[in-house]
Structures are given as structure tokens and as C-alpha cells.
């Protein structure tokens, strides 16, 4: 312990914290903004926005879908239920038969007619 030199405590110079803000502000130079540049930049932005609107770049073009695709979109988004779709049909039984026929045609049969499993 005796070999470690004793350090003197740190002391701040007199009036250091009182003079510090003035010294910092003296080193910085205020920047002046020329107001004509602000007006020019605003004019360019407004002109660009006006040309973009006038050029038709922002047009909501309708997406054309068939009535069947539109009905499927309503069904898949859960806005229409099964009862809603059947109520729109003139013959709900024929519509159900058609749906059943299409669904069963997609799946492979469980057994063929030649197979006898019982």
C-alpha cells in the first residue's frame, strides 16, 4: 500500500462552470437560413405534387372480376355465410348438388367398384 503514490484530489478551475457556456457559444457560429431557399424548396415540392396528381400516377383503377370470383371473395372474407349464398340462388338444392359433385370429383374414391372389402 505504501508503494502506491497518493493522488491529489481533482479541483476544477475557478469560475469554470460559470464561464463554460460562454466559451462554448463563442466557438460555435450561428447559421443563417436564407428565406428565399425555403420558399423555393416549398414551391418545388408543391409543383412536384401537382404534376404527380395531374399526370394520373395516383389513380385507383378498378380490378375487374367475374361475379363468381367476387362471390368467392365475399365468402372467403367471411362477409357472406353459407345461408347468404344459398339465399341468392334461384335453386339452392341444385347449387348444393353442384358443389357436392365438384368436391367429390376432386377427391380420389376410397375404393373402386371391383374391390369388395366386405
Give the separation between CA 87 and CA 71, rounded to whole angstroms: 13
For every residue of 85-111, DSSP letters joined together read HHHHSS-HHHHHHHHHHHHHHHSPPSS
> pLDDT higher for 114 or 23?
23
Give the separation between CA 100 and CA 94, rounded to whole angstroms: 10
SS3 41: helix
**CA–CA distance from 12 to each of 19, 25, 55, 75 (Å)?**
12, 20, 66, 77
Q: What mean pLDDT do residues 45-60 have?
A: 80
State the average pLDDT for the chain. 79
Q: Say which residue the cell 349464398 belongs to.
A: 85
Q: pLDDT class for 45, splitting at 50, 70, 90?
A: very high
Is it the case that residue 53 has pLDDT exceeding 90? no
Give the separation between CA 27 and CA 83, rounded to whole angstroms: 79
What pLDDT is stored for residue 108 in this prediction?
65
Q: Say which residue the cell 371473395 belongs to.
A: 73
pLDDT digits (tens, 9 = 90+) for 96-106: 888 788 777 76
Contact by Cβ (8 Å): 17, 11: no
Q: What mean pLDDT do residues 103-114 have?
A: 69
Amino acid at each position: 500500500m505504501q508503494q502506491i503514490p497518493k493522488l491529489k484530489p481533482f479541483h476544477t478551475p475557478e469560475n469554470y462552470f460559470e464561464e463554460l457556456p460562454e466559451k462554448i457559444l463563442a466557438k460555435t457560429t450561428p447559421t443563417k437560413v436564407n428565406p428565399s431557399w425555403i420558399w423555393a424548396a416549398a414551391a418545388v415540392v408543391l409543383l412536384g405534387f401537382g404534376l404527380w396528381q395531374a399526370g394520373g400516377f395516383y389513380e385507383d383503377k378498378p380490378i375487374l372480376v367475374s361475379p363468381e370470383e367476387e362471390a368467392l371473395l365475399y365468402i372467403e372474407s367471411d362477409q357472406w355465410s353459407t345461408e347468404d349464398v344459398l339465399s341468392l340462388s334461384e335453386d339452392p338444392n341444385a347449387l348444393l348438388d353442384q358443389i357436392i359433385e365438384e368436391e367429390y370429383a376432386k377427391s380420389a374414391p376410397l375404393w373402386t367398384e371391383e374391390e369388395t372389402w366386405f
